Structure 1
C-alpha cells in the first residue's frame, strides 16, 4: 500500500494535468479552438500551466513561459516546450518570435503589451483576460499598474488592426469577485 500523498511520477503528472485543465479559464476554453493548428501557441506568464495543458490536450504545440516553470517541466508533455524567462526585462525576450495564438490570463505588464499583436502570425488569435479597474474594491490586485483601463484591450486590438471576435469588461462572481476585461481577437492581415 502506498503512503498517503505518495504518487508515482505518472500518477503525479496525470493528476496535475487533469486539475490544471479543469481550472482553465472558461474564456480561454471558449475561444481556444479559434487558434489555427499550424504553429505554436504562446502561453505567456503561464503559471502552473493550466492553459498550456488545455491547449496541448487540444493538439496545439505550446510554448509556456514564466519565471518559474517547474510545474510544467514535471509533465513531460511532448507538445509543451517550457522556458523560464523574465518577462519584465527591458529587452523583450521573445522579440523575433511569431505565434499562431497567444494566451494571457491574470497578467499585465504594459511596457510589452503592444508587442503581443505584432507577434501574431496572419490569422493568429490573441486571447487575453485579466483584472480591470474597479478590482481594487475586491482585493488584489489593486495597484493600477496591474489593472486594465476601461477599453484598454479594445484599444490594443483596434490599434493593431485585429478583428475583435469577443470582448467583455465586467464584474464576475467566480472564482472570486473581481472586475475583469477579456478579449479574443484575430490578426487578419
Structure 2
C-alpha cells in the first residue's frame, strides 16, 4: 500500500552513486544509435539503388549485420524484463495509477535502459537509494539499442512520443509529469513487507 501526498513536498535528498554509470550508458547509447542509424540508412539506400538490379553481396551482408545487432538488443531487453519480479511490478503498478497511465507503459520505460533497472533495484535495497523519480513526458522515440524494434526500418523515423524515464533526479530534465517515490524505512522492499503497512509515499513533482 502507498500513501499519496498532495501538498508540495521538497525534492528528496537523492543519492548520486549511479551518476557516472548512467552518464556513460547514455553516451554509449547515443554513439551506438547514431552509428546504427547511419548503417541502416546506408543499407536502405543501397537496397533501393540495387532493387531493380538484384542485391549485391555487400548490401545483403550489411543488412544481415544490422539485423543481428537488433536481435541482440532485443535479447538484452527481454533479459531486463525477466529481472522484474513481483515487488518491482508492485511499485510499477502504483506509479502507473498515480500517473493515470497503463502499467505496461511504465514497464516499457523501465526496461529501455539497464540504468533504469539498476536504479529501481537500488531503491528496493536496504542501505541504498531512499527515493527515485518516474518521469512521464514527450521525448524522442526510443533509440534502437533499447531493443524495442525487431526490424531496423521501424526505428528510422524521427518522432516524439510519450515515454517513462527512471531517474535519481540528477540527469532527466523535468518537462511534464513526474512522481517521486519515497521509501518510509531503510530496508529491503519485498512483497511480504510491502503489503503489511504503508512502506512507500508517492508525491507529484
TM superposition score normalised by structure 2: 0.28
Structure with higher strand content: 1
The structure with the largest alpha-carbon Rg is 2
TM-score if structure 1 supplies the norm length? Answer: 0.30
User: Using CA pairs below 8 Å that are at least 6 residues apart, which structure has the higher relative contact order?
Assistant: 2
Q: Which has the higher helix share?
A: 2
